[in-house]
Amino acid sequence: MTHDTITRLCLSHVVLPLATEISDAKVFTGRQKPMTEVNFLFCELWTADGLYGVGFAYSKRAGGPAQFAHAREIADNLIGEDPNDIDRLRVMLLWAGASVGRSGVAVQAIAAIDVALWDLKAKRAGLPLAKLIGAHRDSIRCYNTSGGFLNAPLETVLENATRSVEAGIGGIKIKVGHPDPRVDLERLTAVRGHLGDGFPLMVDANQQWDRPTALRMCTAFEQFDLVWIEEPLDAYDHEGHADLARRVITPIATGEMLTSVAEHASLIEHRSCDVIQPDAPRIGGISEFLRLSALASTAGLMLAPHFSMEIHSHLAATYPLEPWVEHFDWPDPLFNEHMRIEDGRMIVSERPGLGVTLSDRLRAWTVDSLELGTR
């Protein structure tokens, strides 16, 4: 019988500065300020057998300190526990913080721990995480988002697209949802012409259209042969997304802003999208992502996980249908290893676990930390 115990745990709140502030449609409609940094919650675990696991969650704009605060309240429950019993520990942590619910910050704090436990378990087996779960492929189609924000001048968006294609990335996504629809059409026309017919191109409206506007814009976008139109409506408007998905030829994508499996289950039940975009750190970690993945594959949905490519490359590799993974270069300074891109695809790491180690720059950006247990 394999039995091990968690002897030490470290939580770190890390604030990653962005080289350039970014704005999507939520800024142009006055609902948010430009984003200048990303907050990360890292969890590191050590065991009596000498094993080590690392995981993370994150928050854009608000939420980082709250994730860290919740994690530090519940993390002491892990000391002395067997790290192999991942789902039992997940449920234990949910009950430890039951009064704050089972979505949002509560599960995002647990997500960092859950990911660390899966990383540790794969390392114990000597396998990449994808192989531990059971992979369908060793590489995944990938597309870039970080070069196409609305605040970037069109010339910069085109230059960024060129760099991404030259780096081997297989698709480009740009932001839309500008208050003036003519701006969206001008930028999209230019990007499609720059990339050429047939090159995978996606757009993301970041929830900023109402139903009539969404139908009008999605219809106008049909000429551009898009892979998908992302978040045309409010993330919780499942009925509106379902109606749009029925009426529009281009696939509709959504899901990244939902913070539990239950919310995604409602999305699937309503047939609200063609492409589902869960985010493992937002819905509670790898354990919850795998539950959702089973529901989504049964429904025949395309999968395109949001952000966190260091985690999602492994999870997308286990999905039965050919998925997409989102490429962001922002987190690169946090890790000593970087994702390899070839011929339009992201190569799944062959190193045990997630295949990443934490950089010295990450330590320098740590604004708060907590250590529990003994060295």
Binding residues for Mg(2+): 204, 230, 256
Supply the residues annotated as catalytic: 175, 306
Q: Are 285 and 114 in contact (CB under 8 A)?
A: yes
Give the distance from CA 272 to its chain's centroid.
19
Q: Which residues of 326-345 are buried (b: 16+ CB within 10 A; e: fewer)?
A: bbbbbbebbbeeebebeebb
How many CB atoms are closer than 10 A to CB 233?
A: 24
Q: Which of 289, 339, 353 is nearest to 318 (CA)?
A: 289
Q: Which residues of 280-289 are buried (b: 16+ CB within 10 A; e: fewer)?
A: bbbbbbbbbb
Residue set of the binding site: 24-26, 60-61, 173, 204, 206, 230, 256, 326
Identity of residue 315: L
Task: Output the CA–CA distances (angstroms, integers) from residue 27 to 114, 261, 301, in the order listed.
Answer: 33, 28, 30
What is the number of residues in the chain?
375
Q: Are 83 and 7 in contact (CB under 8 A)?
A: no
Structure tokens at 366: 């740590």
DSSP run (H or E) holding 202:
strand 201-204
Task: Compute the distance between CA of residue 220 and CA of residue 206 in angstroms, rounded to an integer.
Answer: 17
Rg of the chain over all Cα atoms, to the nearest angstrom: 20
Helix (H/G/I), strand (E/B), else coil: 3: coil
Residue set of the binding site for substrate: 24-26, 60-61, 173, 206, 326
Q: Which of 204, 54, 176 is nearest to 122 (CA)?
A: 54
Structure tokens at 152: 């970037």
Task: Compute the distance between CA of residue 299 and CA of residue 305 in angstroms, rounded to an integer.
Answer: 16
